[in-house]
Amino acid sequence: MMRAPAIAAALVLAAAPVAALAGGDLSRSIGRALFERAWVPAPSSTKANDGLGPLFNARACVACHNGLGRAPATTDADGAFIHQGMVVKLSNAAGRPDPVYRAQVQTSAVPGLLPEARVLMSGTEARLLELSSGPISAETRHGVRQAPALRGLGRLSDVPDEAILALADPDDRDGDGISGRANLIADAAGVTRVGRFGLKASSADLRHQVELAFLLDLGMSTTAFPVEWGDCPTPTCRAAPAGGGVGDPEIRDDLVAMLTDFLASVPPPAAQEDDSSGRALFAATGCASCHVPALPSARGEVRAFTDLLLHDLGDALDGGATEPDVAATEWRTAPLWGIRHALSAGTGLLHDGRAASVADAVRLHGGEASNARQRFDVLPEDDRLNLLRYVEGL
Ligand code: HEC
Ligand code: HEC
């Protein structure tokens, strides 16, 4: 039986534009239904449902962002091939996409077309097998990224650009070894904004990140990325059936708005900070210099434990592929709110899930976080355990 939001979405998808609904409860339940919907390749009997691919990684947002939490990567029947929950990014050292396979390896395709590759995992190392369009460029590096939790993103949107810029110290003028910098992005209107979404903070607004997901993960076009063949490299792939076209995106603006609205309404993980000595140690060790406990916003403090800045964490966290103007070793400070859920779900920590525990994650912090890691290493045993317990409980 269809659940209520699915019915609502089916009705609305069949109806005329529903911009008037944006922002309301109904809009959010439709947004949730869109997040959970499994899309199908074009052409299908219901045009409103189709447009998946030609290349894609999954049929639904929820396939990777299961329960809106961080999901462990799932493998297919062979056990070692990633199926969902992770993606492999491609770029050269300067962050330019691969000339053939472009920015992301799509591991699924519509009938009649080969996926770009199969991804064989060993630990967090990915190997690309059965490449569909010949060998990959020698300049191209690849790296794995795990789907993050999607809770509290509306609160991250609330933080004013100025508050993030006020924390940036790109030339390390205060000499503390930490030189976080904002990822400045020109939006569609050419206005410079502070990026904050994505593991490289390369989207300034949530809607853009949602459209990017439609493009790269589902192969579906939107107004911002209007090509109906998505991330397709080759003429064969571009000629495969697709749903829309320029001026007629596969996902209409009002649907993007409702999905964005739904995500923005998902509350952050419930706060659970105790007042133990762990909290003081978190600050004294230097963790709080990047994992800033609270950022200001007009709707009250945002207790996400991030400064939303990019920091270079050193070679151990080189992500292989990167984005333009961001080093492969630079990452947005990971928000630590809700980390207890990732730990209980056993998803692993850091951008590719390689750390099994908070202590493991800290051991991999180098670069700008070297001082904090060294202070952590020499803490008396009891203090170290208190600090870890504090972080594990967030
Ligand atoms: C194949 C797996 C996969 C699918 C399907 C997928 N995502 Fe993601 N998502 C990811 C990964 C991996 C990242 C981290 C990407 C990065 O920043 O490099 C991510 C990041 C995000 C972020 C940024 C979160 C943050 O903390 O800034 C949002 C928002 C998001 N996805 C929304 C969506 C939506 C909406 C859909 C469906 C239209 C979707 N995703 C489908 C894997 C997936
Ligand atoms: C220089 C800035 C900086 C400092 C100092 C720092 N971190 Fe981080 N931290 C980061 C960044 C950036 C990431 C994301 C790295 C990645 O995904 O590969 C991160 C990731 C993490 C994660 C993984 C979170 C997740 O969701 O996967 C944990 C846990 C963590 N840090 C704890 C700490 C603790 C504890 C300290 C103090 C001992 C600390 N960090 C100090 C910048 C910093």
What string of DSSP letters covers 113-134? S--S-EEEEETTEEEEES-TTS
What distance in Å separates the CA atoms of residue 201 and residue 327, rounded to the nearest whole number?
A: 12
Bond from prior residue into 54 cis (ω within 30 degrees of 0): yes
Chain CA centroid to CA 314, Å: 21
In order of 142, 168, 188, 334, 361, the CA distances from 198 in angstroms are 17, 18, 17, 10, 19
What distance in Å separates the CA atoms of residue 137 and residue 100, rounded to the nearest whole number?
A: 8
CA dihedral 7, 12, 15, 16 (to 10 degrees): 180
Residue among 35, 209, 220, 251 whose CB has most ligand 1 atoms within 8 A, to mutate: 209
Residue among 350, 385, 391 whose CB has most ligand 2 atoms within 8 A, to mutate: 350
At 271 the pLDDT is 85
What percentage of the chain's residues is helix, strand, coil (to nearest 5)? 35, 15, 50
Backbone phi, psi, residue 373, to 5°: -65, -40
Q: Which two tokens stand for residue 373?
A: 């890691």
At 48 the pLDDT is 65
At 51 the pLDDT is 87
Give the predicted TM-score (pTM) of the model. Answer: 0.94
Judging by beta carbons within 10 Å of its beta carbon (0-12, 13-18, 19+), is residue 72 exposed, middle or buried?
A: middle
Neighbours of 211 (CB within 10 A): 24
- Taking the centre of ligand 1 as the mean of its atom positions, its distance from the CA of residue 36, in whole angstroms, is 13
- Taking the centre of ligand 1 as the mean of its atom positions, its distance from the CA of residue 210, in whole angstroms, is 8
Q: Are 44 and 52 in contact (CB under 8 A)?
A: no
Q: Which two tokens stand for residue 29?
A: 């339940």
Identify the nearest ligand to the CA of 340 by its number: 2
At 245 the pLDDT is 61
Q: Which two tokens stand for residue 38?
A: 């499994």
Residue among 89, 146, 176, 291 whose CB has most ligand 2 atoms within 8 A, to mutate: 291
Pocket of ligand 2 (CB under 6 A): 178, 285-287, 289-291, 311, 313, 317, 331, 333-334, 339, 342, 349-351, 358, 361-362, 365, 368-369, 372, 376, 391
Which ligand 2 atom is at minimum distance from the Cα of 367? 1
At 7 the pLDDT is 46
- Taking the centre of ligand 1 as the mean of its atom positions, its distance from the CA of residue 135, in whole angstroms, is 27
Residue 140: CA count within 13 A, CB half-sphere: 18
- Taking the centre of ligand 1 as the mean of its atom positions, its distance from the CA of residue 228, in whole angstroms, is 20
At 5 the pLDDT is 45
- Taking the centre of ligand 1 as the mean of its atom positions, its distance from the CA of residue 261, in whole angstroms, is 15
Q: Which two tokens stand for residue 175?
A: 């000499």
Which ligand 2 atom is at minimum distance from the Cα of 286? 5
Identify the nearest ligand to the CA of 372 by its number: 2
Instruction: Just give the CATH number of 158-183+267-392.
Output: 1.10.760
Bridge partners of residue 125, in order along the sequence: 122
What distance in Å separates the CA atoms of residue 363 and residue 156, rounded to the nearest whole number?
A: 27
Per-residue pLDDT of the chain (394 residues; tens, 9 = 90+): 334 444 444 544 544 444 445 568 999 999 999 999 999 987 776 666 688 989 999 999 999 998 999 988 777 777 778 778 899 999 999 999 999 999 999 999 999 999 999 999 888 889 999 999 999 999 999 999 999 999 999 999 999 999 999 999 999 999 999 999 999 998 778 899 999 999 999 999 999 999 999 999 999 999 999 888 888 878 888 888 777 666 689 999 999 999 999 999 999 999 887 778 999 999 999 999 999 999 999 999 999 999 999 999 999 999 999 999 999 999 999 999 999 999 999 999 999 999 999 999 999 999 999 999 999 999 999 999 999 999 999 9
- Taking the centre of ligand 1 as the mean of its atom positions, its distance from the CA of residue 181, in whole angstroms, is 23
Element (H, E) at 108: strand 108-109
Q: Whose CA is nearest to atom 6 of ligand 1?
A: 61
At 168 the pLDDT is 97
> What is the DSSP code string of 173-209?
TT-SS---B--EEE-TTS-EEE--BTTTT-BSSHHHH
Which ligand 2 atom is at minimum distance from the Cα of 148? 26
In the chain, where the domains are located: 158-183+267-392
| C-alpha closest to that of 97 among 35, 63, 142 | 142
At 17 the pLDDT is 47
Backbone phi, psi, residue 141, to 5°: -110, 155
Radius of gyration of the chain (CA): 21
- Taking the centre of ligand 2 as the mean of its atom positions, its distance from the CA of residue 334, in whole angstroms, is 6
